[in-house]
């Protein structure tokens, strides 16, 4: 029986929309369509191992600060995030079974909590990046999570050690390329509404629902395996 479930956030618990990082760049007036833009060049530095994840957060934060980013712009972004239908019923059902629910995301803690609203109560942990502001509400820096990309597998391994459970008793639910690492932990993986990942790759994704419209569609896969 599954004892713990780890969820991605963007495109997993939400309907597909503009990635929150991209949304901030756009809200600040940057052109992210130009391959020579800071958006792409900074991302490429990370993928080329020139900078680490925190370094990526640091250079991105500087670009945001150059535009005097204020936390008030996040309201517009959060208001555009739409949770997948059936989420409350889905989460309450899992919680009633005594299953630990956790979010492991490359989004931001505040964005996730504000988007989830009352649904946040169902999660034991929410692991993501943090936007840090000064007393006037202007961005000072971005505190990067340790648990994005390959870090998602690391979180699962650490969770299993801390809670004395086997990876086979954990399930990860995601939708994108940064979620593909989760399987390395030895947990079960489910891909829903895939975006930039091959959901038929059974090494990375053990099960999939390519066109999920209501979170309760996931319950049979989680409770009957």
pLDDT tens, per residue, the chain with 225 residues: 899 999 999 999 999 988 999 999 999 999 988 888 899 999 999 999 999 999 999 999 999 999 999 999 999 999 999 999 999 999 999 999 999 999 999 999 999 999 999 999 999 999 999 999 999 999 999 999 999 999 999 999 999 999 999 999 999 999 999 999 999 999 999 999 999 999 999 999 999 999 999 999 999 999 986
Confidence (pLDDT) at 35 = 83
pTM of the model: 0.95
In Å, how far from its chain's centre is CA 29?
A: 24
Confidence (pLDDT) at 18 = 86
| CB-based contacts of 169, cutoff 8 Å, min separation 6 | 1, 2, 3, 4, 160
**Domain map (residue ranges) of the chain:** 4-16+82-131+143-223, 20-78
- 3-class state of residue 104 by DSSP: strand
149 touches 178 (CB < 8 A)? yes
Fold classification of 4-16+82-131+143-223 is Rossmann fold (3.40.50)
DSSP at 84: P
Residue with tokens 């169902």: 122
Residue with tokens 């053990």: 206
Phi and psi at residue 195, to the nearest 5°: -140, 110
Any idea what the Cα angle at residue 186 is, between residues 183 and 189, rounded to 5°? Answer: 45
Cite the beta strand spans of the chain per DSSP E: 4-7, 100-108, 125-133, 139-143, 170-176, 188-195, 207-209
Residue with tokens 């503009």: 18
């Amino acid at each position: 029986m599954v004892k713990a479930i780890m969820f991605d956030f963007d495109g997993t618990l939400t309907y597909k929309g503009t990635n929150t990082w991209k949304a901030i760049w756009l809200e600040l007036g940057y052109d992210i369509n130009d391959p020579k833009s800071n958006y792409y060049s900074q991302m490429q530095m990370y993928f080329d191992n020139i900078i680490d994840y925190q370094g990526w957060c640091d250079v991105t934060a500087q670009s945001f600060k150059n535009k005097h980013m204020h936390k008030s712009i996040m309201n517009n972004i959060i208001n555009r995030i739409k949770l997948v239908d059936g989420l409350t019923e889905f989460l309450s059902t899992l919680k009633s079974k005594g299953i630990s629910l956790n979010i492991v995301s490359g989004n931001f803690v505040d964005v996730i909590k504000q988007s989830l609203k009352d649904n946040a109560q169902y999660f034991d942990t929410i692991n993501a990046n943090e936007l840090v502001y000064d007393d006037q509400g202007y961005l000072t820096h971005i505190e990067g999570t340790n648990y994005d990309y390959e870090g998602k597998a690391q979180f699962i391994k650490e969770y299993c050690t801390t809670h004395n459970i086997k990876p086979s008793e954990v399930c990860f639910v995601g939708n994108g390329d940064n979620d593909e690492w989760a399987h390395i932990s030895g947990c079960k993986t489910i891909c829903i509404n895939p975006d930039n990942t091959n959901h038929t790759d059974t090494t990375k994704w053990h099960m999939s629902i390519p066109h999920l419209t209501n979170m309760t569609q996931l319950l049979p896969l989680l409770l009957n395996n």
